[in-house]
Amino acid sequence: MALRNPNRAADSETQGDNDEDMALKIAIIGGVAGGSGAAAAARRANEAAQIDVFEAGHHISFANCGLPYYLSGEIASREKLLVTSAELMKRRFNVDVHIRHAATGIDRATKTLRVRNLDTFEEIDHAYDRLIIATGARGFRPPTPGLEHPRMNECRTIDDIDALMAHVTEHSKGRALVIGGGFIGVEVAEALTNRGLVVILVDLAPQVLPPLDPEMAAAAAERLERHGVTLKLGAKIEKIEHQRDVSYAVLSDGGRIAFDFGVISIGVTPETSLAKEAGLEIGATGGLVVNEQQQTSDPDIFAAGDVTELLYWPTETRMRIALAGPANKQARVAGANAALQSERLRTSGAAGTSIVRLFDLAVGMTGLSEKAAIAKKIPHQIIYTQNGHHAGYFPGAKPLFIKLVFSTETGRVLGGQIFGEEGVDKRIDVLAVAIQAGFTVDQLADADRAYAPPFGSAKDPIVIAGMVASNAWHGRTVTITPQELAKELSSSSPPVVIDVRAEGEHGAGGIKGAINVPIDSLRKEGLNIQKDHPIVVHGAVGYRGYVAERMLRQSGYANVRNLSGGYRAGN
């Protein structure tokens, strides 16, 4: 027997028993995650609806996030990328899929969709009761001379990957140019390097992975270079010259990069041209405006995926987030709601949670970065921590470096970034849920986590990050970041730096001018420093510095701060 909350109206994607739902004609523009997911959800909600999907490409749905891993050879079969087919959609969901059919216009007054067959060029008008726009986004290409050439491809579609695989086959030990250091760009750089090619990555930005804060992105850049990827950051490509057997990227500083083929991964722009022409509302960020039911400004037109804006939890504002997770959830809601006349499903938004693998390093982020918080003038604090991904006494513990951003005013978790070789994924997911739930750093410090030595620690790295942030927010500790310390050390009144690591650790490398007083000797030896003089203490990762700070404060040193993340945070 199915159970239902008696205090809530039916809110199910399977509620299709209303007579008004039975005769609906549902048209969907676009496939992949948004369109295909919406079609399946619409059918689950309404068995009697007529559902048509119009897809301009050759494939109704494919795993675009898997393309770099097919390029690398880790996904061996091209067929594995094809999530579903027109035949399966018809057989399982009774959905009519029209491949190579592009929508060219929406007439809202007559509720008709103008569609062109891209093979025959025949055009028809298709009537709808409800329309779902899932046109996604298109790759951004600047007007750089030479980009429109057969040697220059993207990595967004099956056609793209077929072209890239042909280049890889032809130039198995050749040189590849990757333009753009975002998530797809670095994944492609990794894939081509693993294929044995020489890879040069160029980006106009001064760092890879631009959404990250610079010091976190530096770890990603270091790992790319360690594995042989050449990075040209802060460099502008003025033009690309193509000769018979080789191409050259000409940089603004006069440099020239020779390569055999290139991959363009500069970013995406929402494909809103149809929506604009139809007079639908476009948001300030350039995405199609939808409500929590995925309705556009026309109540009979819904939308899902990269073409839309969504609610961004950290700032509670609308923004564009081109990620597969939100797109799939939006598709379920848009499809079910388009098929129903009654109470509808709802979306809640996203935190922009992402993760990328760079050879043996994983880098994850969720919510606000520090630089985004600064740009939006949001009062915030940050802390760094570093701990093993599981119990230190169990073999194989790998360090996890965590940066947490939280509100100075409320203590609410705003964002986080993590890198490490193991355990990044589950910790970034915990932070994403904490942001969604509106956790404060106090609640994060009290998060309930699974523990056994092979999997974690009794105090999980995320819990420790919450504890450190809670201490900082409540004033139980006063921290200073490596960046802030570097500025103060170059000022006319620098603080005294006390390194409380062991002598051997200090001797192996330390902050210039730091005084070494090991933590276990500090209480006995004390400090020959005026008690009002600025002092910064540090250990390796933050904990010994915190112990030293507490010890000194209670001994009368009022102006003492702990270096957040310890010595390793700045090195």
| Known catalytic residue at 155 | no
**CA dihedral for 68, 72, 77, 80, sign (positive or negative):** negative
Produce one character per residue of 11-27: b if its CB has 16 or more CB atoms within 10 Å, e if not: eebebbeeeebeebebb
Q: Which long-range contacts (CB under 8 A, 24 or more apart) does 542-547 make?
A: 542/384, 542/385, 542/386, 542/468, 542/566, 542/569, 544/500, 544/501, 544/519, 545/500, 546/468, 546/471, 546/477, 547/500, 547/519
**Partners of 355 in beta bridges:** 364
**CA–CA dist 202, 236 (Å, integer):** 8
Which of 65, 204, 282, 378 is catalytic? The answer is: 65
Within 248-299, where are the H helices?
A: 273-277
Q: At 339, which amino acid appears?
A: A
Do strands 112-117 and 123-127 pair parallel, antiparallel, or not at all (unpaired)? antiparallel
**CA dihedral for 164, 165, 171, 174, sign (positive or negative):** positive
CB atoms within 10 A of CB 393: 9
Which token pair is 151?
């040697």
Angle 77-78-79 from CA coordinates, rounded to 5°:
90
Q: What is the DSSP letter of 455?
A: T
185 phi, psi to nearest 5 deg: -60, -45
Active site residues: 65
